[in-house]
Every structure is written in C-alpha cells, then in structure tokens.
Amino acid sequence: MKSAVIVFPGSNCDRDMATALEQIGGTPPAMVWHGDHDLPDGLDLIALPGGFSYGDYLRSGAMAAQSPVMREVVRAATRGVKVLGVCNGFQILTEAGLLPGALMRNAGLKFVCRDVRLRVENAATAYSSGYAAGQEIRVPVAHHDGNYFADDALLERLEGNGQVVFRYLDNPNGSRHDIAGIINEAGNVLGMMPHPERLIEPIQGGTDGRPLFESVLATGR
C-alpha cells in the first residue's frame, strides 16, 4: 500500500500515524509537508494526522484546510483515493469540505485525554471491514474540540446513508448522536476523533485500532 502522511505546523501525531502505516502496510509512507504543491503519484491512502495545526487559531483545522497541499488532497479524494483524517485531521476534513458537519469545543469546555468505548456502526466500509457490525472497541481520544455538530437534516441523512461508522458509548465531548467517526457518501473519506494509530500492538495496551488499518490494506486501491 502506497500512502502519505500530511504534516502541518503543529501536527504531533504524524509519527504515530507513519509507524502504524509502515508496521501494518509494510511500506514507509511519504511524509508530505503542508506547503508542498504536489503529492506522490499512485497513492492508495492519504492520512491527515492529529495535533494542533496552526495552534488551533480561528477554528481547529480552518487554517490547515487552506494549505497548498490540501488542494491536491481534495483532487485526490474526488478521484476516489482514500483519505483518513484522525482528530485534527477530522477537523481539517470538515473545514476543507470533504466531510459534512463541524467540530466544536467540547461540551465540558475541557481537554479530554482518555480511552473511550466505541461501537462499530457500519462494518461495510473500506476502513471498518475488519470489525463486526455492532462490535465494541476501546480507542484513545485526546482533544479539546471534538464535539461533532450537524443539523437535524444532515444527521438524518448521515444515519440513513450508513455514514456513521463509529459511535461513542461514553460520549466524552457532547457530539450529536454520539458520533465519533463518519464517512463521505462515496465511501473513500473517513474522519474520526479517536486515535486508532495509538492502539495497534500489545505494547500500547491493546490492538483495537489495528483492524482499521488492516481493512484499508485489504481493500487496496
């Protein structure tokens, strides 16, 4: 699997993401700086990692969404290349218009850093086929602005289309409908607040995040 990790000023999970992709995919990903104007050819997956791009000024992910490389990420997503955004990456995807809705300040107005329980709502995506529908997993979160918001009409559409892939069982941030991760209608762009890359081998305390990356590898291009 040929992959790339986009690195923004303030990214702090890019190495975690790169390690997960290399360990599970077998090939080191390209590390692409946000100011670049091109992506490597033939990518199967583009990953936007967690962190605090541009210090979360304006809105989390708003400035990063305007980075030069994001124009190429949007073009690649439109062609069907898989794009995964985790935590700050999820925020960037919504700000770039690749996913609907918005990520707001946590309902408790505090930074949340702990393991949370998720339920796999849709196991028929390129990112979740390694799980069973309804499976409960444990994945870490670390965010201050993870409160997913969408209006009632959008929520109805997301639920009806099966675009809610992961749902919190112990909602840490106030997200509507307990949404932890969604996918676009085309099925190639996934955004989620929890960090699957932080739980891929036993030394990290569990492997509940590993099937996500194995699912992407299994689906290829």
**91-148 pLDDT, tens digit each:** 999 999 999 999 999 999 999 999 999 999 999 999 999 999 999 999 999 999 999 9
Instruction: Look up residue 55 and give its amino acid.
Output: G
Catalytic, out of 72, 95, 121, 197: 197
The string of pLDDT tens digits covering residues 10-55 is 999 999 999 999 999 888 999 999 998 999 999 999 999 999 998 8
Pairing between strand 147-149 and 136-143? unpaired
Structure confidence by residue, pLDDT tens digits, 59-94 = 889 999 999 999 999 999 999 999 999 999 999 999
Identify the band that residue 220 occupies on the pLDDT scale cut at 50, 70 and 90.
Answer: low
pLDDT at 51: 94
Among 34, 143, 144, 195, the active-site one is 195
197 is catalytic: yes
Query: Looking at 87, 95, 121, 144, which residue is catalytic?
Result: 87
Neighbour tally for 16: CB within 10 Å: 20
Could you give the number of structural domains in the chain?
Answer: 1
Q: Are 15 and 23 in contact (CB under 8 A)?
A: no
Q: Scan for tokens 């999970």, then name that residue.
A: 13
In 26-151, alpha helices (H): 68-79, 88-95
CB-CB contact of 105 with 144 (8 Å): yes
Report the b/e string of 124-162 with b at 16+ CB within 10 A: ebbbbbbbeeeeebebbbbbbbbbbebeeeebeebeeee
Is 34 labeled as catalytic in the residue annotation? no
CATH number at 186 reads 3.40.50.880
The whole-number pLDDT of residue 26 equals 84
C-alpha–C-alpha distance, residues 219 and 6, integer Å: 21
Domain that holds residue 11: 3-219
Determine the 3-state secondary structure of 14 from DSSP: helix
List C-alpha distances in Å: 73 to 8, 35, 48, 185: 13, 12, 10, 17
What percentage of residues in the chain have a pLDDT greater than 90? 92
**CA distances (Å), 167 to each of 26, 52, 147, 164, 182, in order?**
29, 23, 12, 7, 9
